[in-house]
């Protein structure tokens, strides 16, 4: 889910995008809990600073810049990140 008017929408994230790298956190198979926790920490440490996010969409790799910030909705990103093993 990507909320309208959110930082995630402004960065160009879409529902179904697969995040391959979030800042310095790369996706690897297996136990994703440490990676997910590292993403949460990076968001908290990067308020109002852009984070480079590498996604896969329709088999194409795309680099986006997502800036966590306060906005009218919930959270700092305005999207639901779901770990994928």
Q: What is the pLDDT of residues 8-59, one digit of tens each?
A: 999 999 999 999 899 988 876 666 777 888 888 999 999 999 999 999 999 9
Query: Once rounded to an integer, what is the mean pLDDT over residues 60-76?
Result: 96
* 58 contacts: CB under 8 Å, gap ≥ 6: none
Query: Once rounded to an integer, what is the mean pLDDT over residues 3-10?
Result: 96
Query: What tokens appear for 62 in the block?
Result: 């795309």
* Global confidence as pTM: 0.86
Q: Classify residue 35 by burial, with Cβ atoms within 10 Å: 0-12, 13-18, 19+.
A: middle
Q: What is the pLDDT of residue 26?
A: 85
């Amino acid at each position: 889910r990507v909320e309208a008017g959110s930082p995630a929408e402004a960065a160009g994230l879409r529902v179904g995008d697969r995040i391959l790298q979030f800042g310095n956190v790369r996706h690897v198979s297996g136990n994703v809990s440490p990676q997910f926790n590292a993403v949460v920490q990076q968001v908290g440490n990067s308020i109002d600073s852009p984070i480079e996010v590498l996604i896969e969409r329709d088999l194409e790799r795309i680099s986006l810049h997502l800036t966590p910030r306060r906005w009218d909705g919930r959270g700092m990103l305005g999207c639901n990140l779901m770990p994928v093993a």
